[in-house]
Amino acid sequence: MWPSVDFLPVLVAAVASMVIGSIWYGPLFGKKFMVAMGMDKWTPEQQVAMKKKMWMSYVGQFVASLVMFYVLAGITYNFVYSFAQGGWAKGAMVGFIMWVGFVLPLKVGDVLWGGNKTLFWLESLNMLITLLAAGAIIGTSLYFI
């Protein structure tokens, strides 16, 4: 049975994921990411064209995050209810389980089929931190429902 999901923690988790991503792909690893993606070789015209449509990427990513964290919340609620206790640690544990069970195998597959190892580490670890944070936010919200 899928429990009723509280949308506020889902929204907060989605905003947190955007903040984490902007720090991760900005000051922390932005230059490495750009090199790994080949963006460092773009012409000024290509850079301008990308900047013009970047807002659509942010909106699309935010919507995708809402969907992902809605599902994470449903799974977390079921997981936590089965143990009759909530909290940030339980929520983070569910985020970690989702990372190990879904994100990591997909990213390993990307590398095995010719993907970039630098992107593997950047994207995989960003998703680990994001899912841990989202799980903790959602798990904490269970104290209030």
Amino acid residing at 2: W
CB 76 within 8 A of CB 54: no
For residue 75, what pLDDT is reported?
Answer: 87
Give the pLDDT mean for 71-97. 82
Digit-coded pLDDT (tens) for 21-59: 999 999 999 999 999 999 999 999 998 999 899 999 999
For residue 61, what pLDDT is reported?
Answer: 94
Break the chain into its structural domains and give their ranges. Answer: 7-144
Intra-chain end-to-end CA distance of the chain, in Å: 17
Q: Is 114 strand, coil or helix? A: coil
Neighbours of 96 (CB within 10 A): 14
Give the pLDDT mean for 122-142. 93
17 backbone dihedrals φ, ψ, rounded to 5°: -65, -35
Check whether 128 has a pLDDT greater than 90: yes
| pTM, to two decimals | 0.85
Check whether 74 has a pLDDT greater than 90: no
